[in-house]
Amino acid sequence: MIPLRPTAEREPLWRDLVGDVLRRERQAQERTLKDVADAARISMPYLSEVERGRKEASSEVLAAAARALGLSLGDLLARAQGELVRLTGRPSVRHPDRQRTTTTSSHNGLCLAA
């Protein structure tokens, strides 16, 4: 697999980041695609496509795949966000006209909008 390298024109795609996180976690657990797909109740070919960043999976599918791996959806998305920061070399942009607010969320302000 070719590592994701952002260019000046293009940042990594979210589906690539999420897919990489799912694949790494599955492989770290030494589980097969079939095992995780069965546990998540999604098709094995579809999970493969999600892991390769070829499909833009719904939040329901991502949550099911994460649960099958013993993760929450928040865990999965937080790991993908961490990977985005690592690859782009910059944390989220802060806007000077917005005041900083304190959040009590365990997901550090990460939000997924449909």
Per-residue pLDDT tens over the stretch 42-69: 999 999 999 999 999 999 999 999 999 9
Structure-token pair, residue 90: 């910059």
Residue with the bigger pLDDT between 66 and 10: it is 66
Q: How confident is the model at residue 89 (pLDDT cuts 50, 70, 90)?
A: confident
Span 6-30, average pLDDT: 88
| Sign for the pseudo-dihedral over CA of 67, 72, 74, 80 | negative
How does DSSP classify residue 110?
Answer: -
Contact indicator for 112, 57 with CB cutoff of 8 Å? no
pTM for this model (two decimals)? 0.72
CA dist list (Å): 22 to 10, 35, 75, 107: 22, 13, 11, 18
pLDDT number for residue 114: 47
Q: How confident is the model at residue 3 (pLDDT cuts 50, 70, 90)?
A: low
Amino acid at position 26, single letter = R
